[in-house]
Structure 1
Amino acid sequence: MADEADALAAMAEILAPHCHVTRLSGGALIADWKRTRFLGMTPADVRALTGGDAEERAEVVTDLVRAGCATGRSRAPTEAGVRLWLHGTHLLIRTLGFGRVLRLLPVVAPDYARTDRPPAEQVGRLKRAVQSQSRRSCSVNGDCKSEAVTAFVLLRRRGWEAVLHVGVREHPFALHTWVSSAGLCIPDADPGGHAFTPVLSIGRGGP
């Protein structure tokens, strides 16, 4: 039973965000919500992910890739990748306006049927990368909107929970944007110790 649970956990790691695996008495069932279809796996296929040799595991993974169920979850973004997303997002906000960019988020960062809670260390690593690249850029220069949208897109495209908040402070009046995920905020939700009240939140889950 433990081996089967380990196999399902391993399968969930390689599945695309739009797929969900459920254990059955006769193996496992993969629900592909993007294509509205269901794929069955035999107990032997499930066990091969943890108890089989490298060739057996590769065969199962290859079948999942060919079926389009293991291609959506990208690897963690590199520093260069974060920089490109950050600069592109900043340019898009300056060109189209922040409101229009928010309306584009469902396209570039879709709300997948399966959204996992990311490891805190992964979110922390992304936060450091985003803020480091932001400080190094003369154009971005710590812009909270660019940092938050970049983090939101990168997290959601990996099938991870993320909520984008737009907050307001009355005295003195100011606006701030941040993303909450795994208990962390990108950038900080209260820069300089000033609290902001969320007036708009995009995404599932909570802060």
Structure 2
Amino acid sequence: MARALSPHCRVTRMSDGALIADWKRTRFLGLATTEVQKFTSGIPEERAEIISGLMRAGCAAGRRKKYADVGVGLRLGGVHLLIRTLGFGRVLRLLPLAAPDYARADLPSAEEVGRLKRAVQSHSSRSWFVNGDCKSEAVTAFVLLRRRGLKAVLHVGVREHPFALHAWTASGGVCIPDADPRGHAFTPVLSFGCGGQ
């Protein structure tokens, strides 16, 4: 059931059913044992009826929306401006506010993350303002993935010869941007988003 719920909802099994905590609207919804049984082992029509009821209550989303191309470009530009204004370190400290810890039970698919990667990199390469900045791409991808309730980890890595820093976000087996650009391997020195960081 947790997979069908919105990222801001949590389900808790109770002795006589289930309790859904909607933290966005600060309310609780209860499901009787029969409704939970219909959801888990009922026919598809019964399951669809329960999901549509959860959707009307605002606790479940229909289908995941694809990333809007224009929205990705605007966020990428905004993140780049924020990094240039505040500095990368301060932006990293603000990430818990902009990208709360993931809540979905299902893992992001490689296809979904790949679609986001193509959108971020196409906007980054076409923009004279961003111009392929790895920090902006990584932070934008991290925020977009985490705000959709998906697991993502932002890494900052270093290479010794010649010295260079690089940032990337890993999710669903895909790195945005690539973890080893131009074949150069970077050793992660900071990982944000795993183990409660």
TM-score (norm 1): 0.79
Task: Give ranges in structure 1 of 5+ residues lacking alignment.
Answer: 1-7
Describe the superposition over 1:103-131 as per-residue Cα deviations: whole angstroms up to 9, x where unpaired. Answer: 11000101145564211110011001100
Residue 12 of structure 1: aligned partner: 3
Give how far 1:194 is off. 0.3
Give how far 1:165 is off. 0.4
In the alignment, which of 56, 79, 88 is matched to residue 98 of structure 1?
88
Quickly say closer, same or farther: Cα 1:57–1:111, change in 2 above 3 A: closer
In structure 2, distance between residues paired with 1:138 and 1:181: 27
Residue 55 of structure 2: aligned partner: 61
In structure 2, distance between residues paired with 1:53 and 1:161: 26
In the alignment, which of 131, 134, 141 is matched to residue 151 of structure 1?
141
Residue 107 of structure 1: aligned partner: 97
Quickly say closer, same or farther: Cα 1:186–1:26, change in 2 above 3 A: same
Higher mean displacement: 89-98 or 110-119: 110-119
Asked whether the equivalents of residues 33 and 113 of structure 1 are also in contact (C-alpha less than 8 Å), the reply is: no
Between the aligned residues of both structures, percent identity stands at 68
Give how far 1:62 is off. 1.3
Quickly say closer, same or farther: Cα 1:107–1:60, change in 2 above 3 A: closer
- Find out whether 1:75 has 2:69 as its counterpart: no
Residue 130 of structure 1: aligned partner: 120
Describe the superposition over 1:156-178 as per-residue Cα deviations: whole angstroms up to 9, x where unpaired. Answer: 00010000000000100000000
In the alignment, which of 164, 174, 196 is matched to residue 184 of structure 1?
174
Residue 5 of structure 1: aligned partner: none
Quickly say closer, same or farther: Cα 1:115–1:163, change in 2 above 3 A: farther
Give how far 1:28 is off. 3.1
Number of aligned residues: 190
Asked whether the equivalents of residues 3 and 105 of structure 2 are also in contact (C-alpha less than 8 Å), the reply is: no
Give how far 1:38 is off. 5.5
In structure 2, distance between residues paired with 1:53 and 1:33: 24
RMSD: 2.8
Give how far 1:32 is off. 4.7
Give how far 1:141 is off. 1.1
Task: Give the 3-state SS of the residue equivalent to 1:12 in structure 2.
Answer: coil
Quickly say closer, same or farther: Cα 1:112–1:38, change in 2 above 3 A: farther
Task: Give ranges in structure 2 of 5+ residues lacking alignment.
Answer: none
Asked whether the equivalents of residues 20 and 114 of structure 1 are also in contact (C-alpha less than 8 Å), the reply is: no
Task: Give the 3-state SS of the residue equivalent to 1:52 in structure 2.
Answer: helix
In structure 1, distance between residues paired with 2:155 and 2:82: 19
Quickly say closer, same or farther: Cα 1:115–1:36, change in 2 above 3 A: farther
- Find out whether 1:141 has 2:131 as its counterpart: yes
Describe the superposition over 1:81-108 as per-residue Cα deviations: whole angstroms up to 9, x where unpaired. Answer: 1001101101111111111111110001
